[in-house]
């Protein structure tokens, strides 16, 4: 089939990429801490998970008094490769616009840690990991986890690193949920916090979009009840549909219209077929098909579930109670065109923090890029992060 | 398996409902006009379709001078059963709040016609109909159609009924697109028009959501390249996912939050599983599973494609050109919380009509029910329709 010497069979490319991704589950291209089976992680569900493995990356140097550590919490489909080449895709780090030498989160000054979340597929324990009880990958035997569980696992990592207090914990989207959970559960361990483009709970619409994604995955016969590891088939079609649906929520309608509008893809007229006539169709299909090369479908199910369960108000009775007695300095950031976690949701966080007289600033950034704005080139956002961290570093006595 | 005398096997119920739905394709419970093969319908793609069948319902009586006919155009998943019991679901007509004796579209006064659209699955020619070239159902051999083709087919029906001019043509959502297309293509045949909760073109976001739905259907192996008719399998899982995704766009975020919020479904706490813990999950799954009982997956593909192709501006060079010389009296209606076809899109119609000095009124109705508001109990909407039609009827001399 190789009619051209420069082209490769796309199915081969997919298989190779997916195999490379699967290798990250057990042999991640990053640091790894493997806690022994005798030290299980007690989950919010009451179940234990053991052994617990956490894969993580660090950037910069920890100073002598261990006061300059920043924990970056990643979003649904992110990972520990925040500011360096991704081992599967070969692309740059997902937040390298923000994190690196001389960047707003300056790794010349700060020691940055980013761990693959519990439930992920890049080396931390997740549904693709080996279940010691069976010797096979967990699949749906993996326990349902929460954002709180993710944070508890990260706290274990910090214990291991000997870091008592973080200078800052920073994250957008689900990363922001982890930030909030950190501030609620480990009040003394967080000097400053930046929850970005996030929410203190998942709304009905948030849950609805996730449920569509999960149903798309589980409707794919190749999902095989979650036991597809080691078989020839992966639920790539279902996962691609899930990714496509989710991707629409990451962009604003205006961004979609400005970028794609009704533009046609490599043609002058409608094809009167089901081809990807429109640029937006071609773009979404591409988003779907590249995602499945690097992400595990079961991880997608578990992480979306954790997000849907996230509700700090329910956990603490009243949202403000989550922050009672906090000494953390907060900077809450939202983006005007984000309709996934709109400014309204972010303001609920600010309101609750004000309710306990916390030290909080709030910045709503004008952007037409939608939820994804937090990952993109937004100068005012960068200035906000840099300014907040530098002022706090001075207060903390970080050189 | 029938442990209880009152329960039936749900798969049996599904099969029975789907069979009942399939019967409507060839033997609809409504009036039918079958044009001979010698009278093909020329499509916008340049292809012909023959024979052409149109299934339709009428309500009320046509007056002697044939001046009181109202054509109702249905939306994506609607059909001709606008104001009477649905033959498959047994539920009431989809717009019986609006249409009937004494209702805003008063069938004591007006003669109401509603035809299943070309490409539909309730008796009008569509992908489930027999392809005379093969003797088998068309499947993906059915030509890709446009909203203009739907309207041309309806014009054939009116010719058959001997109705030269409609007193009004009314429709919401894709029904509104047909209204606009009627007014553009058949200027002399429309006395008044009510395009409701609609748009003069599909935006990138509109196309994106439809593409997700199509990919969900086509990802289902039971779709079998569209040739599932006559086999045991139907692409029900894929179609259900498509319906779930679409359904989110029909409701406002506020409506979802007010109706479901984070409420749990028949339980007091999270199950820590992938069950439908949340009411919104249960609701969406129900929407998906009941939809597949009554709707053909290929029709869903073709109709969404027709909507995506809809762009009156591209067709006429400039939107206002579509209405040049119109004598039709327009009433454009939008709903404040409709984010699928927001007020902004509806105002583009008004602007274009103003650009040709057309007789147009515009009503934006305050509602938190989202796009679906046009199908729901909205008193001010009902008053608007009643008032507009009654005033125009007086002008037209209808008793």
What ipTM score was computed for the predicted complex, to two decimals? 0.94
Nearest residue of chain B to residue A313 (CA atoms): B262
Mean pLDDT of B221-236: 95
The mean predicted confidence, pLDDT, of chain B is 95
Is B258 a residue whose pLDDT tops 70?
Answer: yes
Read out DSSP for A281-312?
Answer: HHHHHHHHHHHHHH--HHHHHHHHHHHHH-BH
pLDDT at B219: 96
Longest dimension (CA), chain B: 69
A161 vs B232, residue with greater confidence: A161
Distance from CA of B122 to the nearest CA of A (A): 22
Mean pLDDT of B319-338: 98
A125: helix, coil or strand?
coil
* Structural domain for A222, as ranges: 10-396
* pLDDT category of residue A399 using cuts at 50, 70 and 90: confident
Read out DSSP for B205-229?
Answer: HHHHHHHHHHHHHHHSGGGGGG--T
Would you call A261 and B204 a contact, using CB atoms and an 8 Å cutoff?
yes
Among A8-17, A38-47, A93-102, B53-62, whose mean pLDDT is lowest? Answer: A8-17
In a domain, B281, yes or no: no
Distances (CA, A) of A276 to A271, A290, B193: 9, 16, 34
pLDDT at B126: 98
Mean pLDDT of A124-133: 97
pLDDT at A269: 94
pLDDT at B370: 98
Mean pLDDT of B118-141: 97
pLDDT at B134: 96
Catalogue the active-site residues of B: 173, 338, 371
Angle at A332 between CA A328 and CA A335, to 5 degrees: 170
In a domain, B122, yes or no: yes
pLDDT at B21: 87
Q: Is A270 a catalytic residue?
A: no
In a domain, B160, yes or no: yes
Read out DSSP for B233-285?
Answer: ---HHHHHHHHHHHHHHHS-HHHHHHHTTT-BSS-SS--SSSS--BHHHHHHH
Which chain B residues touch A305 with a CB distance below 8 Å? 274
Residue of B212, B291, B303 best to disrupt the A interface, most CBs of A under 10 A:
B212
Number of domains in chain A: 1
pLDDT at B4: 32
Chain A (126-165) residues lying within 8 Å, Cβ to Cβ, of chain B: 140, 143-144
Taking the Cβ of residue A305 and every Cβ of chain B, the question of whether any pair is shorter than 8 Å is answered with yes
pLDDT at A18: 74
A131: helix, coil or strand?
strand
* pLDDT category of residue B20 using cuts at 50, 70 and 90: confident
Distance from CA of A15 to the nearest CA of B (A): 18
What region, left, alpha or beta, does residue A173 occupy, with left being phi > 0 and alpha being psi -120 to 50 degrees?
A: left
* pLDDT category of residue A331 using cuts at 50, 70 and 90: very high
pLDDT at A15: 60
Beta strands in A23-174 (DSSP E): 31-34, 41-42, 48-49, 53-59, 69-73, 99-100, 105-106, 111-115, 130-131, 136-137, 166-172
For residue A367 the two structure tokens come to: 């952007």
Mean pLDDT of A100-125: 98
Would you call B219 and A237 a contact, using CB atoms and an 8 Å cutoff?
yes
pLDDT at B14: 56
Would you call A260 and B220 a contact, using CB atoms and an 8 Å cutoff?
no
Taking the Cβ of residue B42 and every Cβ of chain A, the question of whether any pair is shorter than 8 Å is answered with no
Mean pLDDT of B51-76: 98
Chain A (249-278) residues lying within 8 Å, Cβ to Cβ, of chain B: 253, 256-257, 259-262, 270, 272-274, 276, 278
In a domain, B244, yes or no: no
Task: Give the Cα separation of A240 and A198 in Å (integer).
Answer: 24
pLDDT in tens, B169-225: 999 999 999 999 999 999 999 999 999 999 999 999 999 999 999 999 999 999 999
pLDDT at A385: 98
Taking the Cβ of residue B382 and every Cβ of chain A, the question of whether any pair is shorter than 8 Å is answered with no
Distance from CA of B129 to the nearest CA of A (A): 18
pLDDT at A203: 97
In a domain, B345, yes or no: yes
Domain containing residue B19: CATH number: 3.40.50.1820
pLDDT at B2: 30
SS3 sequence, A179-202? HHHHHHHCHHHEEEEEEECCCCEC
Is A8 a residue whose pLDDT tops 70?
Answer: no
Would you call A209 and B248 a contact, using CB atoms and an 8 Å cutoff?
yes
For residue A289, report the phi and psi dihedrals to the nearest 5 degrees.
-75, -30
* CA nearest neighbour of B42 among B171, B113, B146, B120: B146
CB pairs under 8 A between A and B: 150
Would you call B219 and A238 a contact, using CB atoms and an 8 Å cutoff?
yes
* pLDDT category of residue B96 using cuts at 50, 70 and 90: very high
In a domain, A2, yes or no: no
Distance from CA of B223 to the nearest CA of A (A): 12
In a domain, B367, yes or no: yes
In a domain, B290, yes or no: no
Read out DSSP for B56-121?
Answer: EEEES---TTS--EEEEE--TT--S-SSS--TTT-PPPTTTTTEETTSSEETTT-EEEEEPPTT-S
Task: Give the Cα separation of B342 and B356 in Å (integer).
Answer: 23
């Amino acid at each position: 089939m190789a009619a051209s010497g420069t082209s490769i069979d796309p199915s081969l490319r997919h298989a190779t990429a997916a195999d490379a991704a699967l290798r990250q589950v057990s042999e991640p291209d990053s640091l790894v801490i493997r806690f022994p089976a005798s030290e299980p992680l007690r989950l919010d569900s009451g179940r234990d998970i053991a052994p617990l493995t956490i894969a993580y990356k660090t950037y910069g140097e920890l100073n002598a008094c261990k006061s300059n550590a920043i924990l970056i919490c990643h979003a649904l489909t992110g990972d520990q490769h925040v500011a360096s080449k991704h081992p599967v895709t070969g692309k740059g780090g997902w937040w390298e616009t923000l994190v690196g030498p001389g960047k707003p989160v300056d790794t010349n000054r700060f020691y940055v840690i980013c761990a693959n979340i519990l439930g992920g597929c890049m080396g931390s324990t997740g549904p693709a990991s080996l279940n010691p009880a069976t010797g096979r990958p967990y699949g749906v035997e993996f326990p349902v986890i929460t954002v709180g569980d993710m944070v508890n696992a990260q706290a274990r990592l910090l214990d291991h690193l000997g870091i008592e207090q973080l200078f800052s914990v920073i994250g957008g989207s689900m990363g922001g949920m982890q930030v909030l959970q950190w501030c609620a559960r480990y009040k003394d361990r967080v000097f400053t916090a930046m929850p970005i483009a996030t929410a203190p709970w998942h709304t009905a619409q948030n849950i609805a979009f996730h449920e569509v994604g999960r149903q798309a995955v589980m409707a794919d016969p190749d999902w095989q009840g979650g036991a597809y590891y080691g078989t020839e088939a992966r639920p790539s079609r279902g996962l691609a549909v899930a990714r496509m649906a989710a991707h629409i929520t990451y962009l604003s309608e205006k961004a979609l219209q400005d970028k794609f509008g009704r533009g046609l893809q490599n043609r002058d007229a409608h094809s009167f077929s089901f081809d990807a006539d429109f640029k937006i169709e071609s773009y979404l299909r591409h988003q779907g098909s590249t995602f499945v090369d690097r992400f595990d479908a079961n991880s997608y199910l578990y992480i979306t579930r954790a997000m849907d369960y996230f509700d700090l108000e329910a956990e603490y009775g009243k949202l403000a109670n989550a922050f009672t007695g906090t000494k953390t300095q907060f900077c809450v950031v939202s983006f005007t065109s984000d309709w996934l976690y709109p400014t309204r949701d972010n303001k609920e966080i600010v309101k609750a923090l004000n309710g306990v007289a916390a030290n909080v600033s709030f910045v709503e950034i004008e952007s037409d890029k939608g939820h994804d704005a937090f990952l993109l080139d937004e100068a005012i956002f960068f200035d906000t992060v840099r300014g907040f961290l530098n002022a706090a570093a001075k207060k903390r006595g970080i050189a």
